[in-house]
Structure 1
Amino acid sequence: MIRNGVKKRRSGHTYTSESGTGGYQGCCDSGFGHLLALSLNELGFRVYATVLDTKNTGSQELTKKCRFSQQMVVLKMDVTDDDQVRQVFVKVSEDLSVNGVVLWAVVNNAGYMMSSPVEWGTLHSSFEHIFKVNVFGVVRVTRVFLPLIKQAKGRVINTASVLALFAIPTFSAYCMTKASVLRFSDSLRKEMANFGVKVSTIMPGGFASTGLFTGILSLMDRTWAETEESVKRSYGQKYFDGWKRGQQKSLDSSSGLSGNNSYIVVNDIIDAIISDEPQNNYMPIEGFMFRYITFVNAYLPDSVANILQGLLSRRK
């Protein structure tokens, strides 16, 4: 399960099922979270894997595929629900006490992605909901679990995106949320320094294997249907059809534009958990499109970046 030589030791101590260390992370139904939960279990962590539905296939596979089934604890939790988050905190606290372990790391991985021009959809569907999950979900979980992390002098790892660093067309809401996560992590890192807690941000490029892209494709027609008629007329059906085809091509896992090897991301998260000196920020990127837009937007003047971004849009 562990790929590309991830270290299994920290300060000469091997993480085994007797290591006295627990790790919490969510969401683990699919994508990075699913792979990470299994990988941490293989390393010997006691993993508290949170999922939206404990009965779905991805959730059940966690206990079926893991190496140490007694060390994989699957819990239902919606990061937007205060009561559910606190209920999970109580369960985790009790389990830690019974097993004589501490909570070493919290990995905030739950995320939601959508793509549309600013005017499309409703304010709630296009902006408010994504902030509830991507921003306030991260803040909510972190605030609740920080006492346990401070006790262990452990780690907080927040998953953002390379799009926290720059914006691209039709992803305004997503870019805003990931920029918020990045700055939240930066501030939290400075606040937690006196407590011995280290905070890292993971900023992946696009990975078709996560399932986030599938969500984008399924939301396209709904977002267009919710758009006010006057706005739809100003764009026209032809614009929508072309935009939809472009998005489908960009997000196709076989196009080479996005990444497919999710272990690139998982290995960086594991490094943030077990390294003596974890990086503040990790940027695992694979695939043409995200390598291209990262280079263009991060290293070139805005005037040049705008031209090259336009070329990419026409390519799609």
Structure 2
Amino acid sequence: MLRIIEKTKIWFAFSLIIIVIGLGFIFTRGLNFGIDFKGGTQVVVEMGKDFDKEEADVIVKQYASDASTNKIDKTQYEIKSKDLPTEKVSELFSELKKTYNLEETAPVSEDSIGASVGKELAKNSLVALGIACIAMLIYIQIRFEMNYGIAALVALVHDVLITLSVFAIFYIPVNTPFIAAILTIIGYSINDTIVIFDRMRENSKNMRRSTPEVIANVSLTQTMGRSINTTLTTLFSIVAVNIFVPTVREFSFPLVIGIAFGAYSSIFIASPVWVILKKKVKKKNVVETA
């Protein structure tokens, strides 16, 4: 039998360190919101061959000093900026065409998002996130009991904060695919947590004389293999997508982080929290009985 609950302080400390560092960056520097939320222009240019990104960046900065750039598949050049109107895009592309002898007469794609649209996206994203969390907690409350629901909520908040912390620490742009990834992470994490909780509920009935620590450790030992195998299989697929399909990296990268820590939280966060709550309830019942 694995003794996971006995090392609860270690698991909590590990997550807390990452979250505290991440929140520190969020409060001091803020998140790097992309044009989806702040509004702006996104342009993708097909260069036709491998190119020197730093050299191209020098040209771009002349037209948009706040621009962020990215090299996709060695031949495509992505440009994002808050201040890059259509006329400047045309001038910029003409400069790139002249410097790199481009054959295309226009950029591969050009998208503009207004600041008001960005604010609306941010608002709708938060609403969607809230509705998803409430719906899942209602389901857990109906199927299980309050202790399980609270533990699941703590695990979900943990997963969101960890993913946000990684993006804040490394100042990775946050766009709408990030929100979609967060919703996917929450769904995946709650699924893994429910599998463990279901086993804990069964063992609670069959091991009435055992302590919450023993019940949790036995349940985690029984479900550990399934959790790890499922997580690794999923991660292999998503990592492959992240490496070989650059166009969806804004969605796949947070998924890699969230799914890994989602499995971690189901085992090392949700279960210990359930034990803590269960012990408090038992202690309260003993006091009331006395």
Q: What TM-score does the superposition give when structure 1 sets the normalisation length?
A: 0.24
Greater relative contact order (Cα 8 A, min sep 6): structure 1 or 2? Answer: 2
Which structure shows the bigger proportion of residues in helix conformation? 2
Q: What TM-score does the superposition give when structure 2 sets the normalisation length?
A: 0.25
Which structure shows the bigger proportion of residues in strand conformation? 1
Q: Which structure has the larger Rg over C-alpha atoms?
A: 2
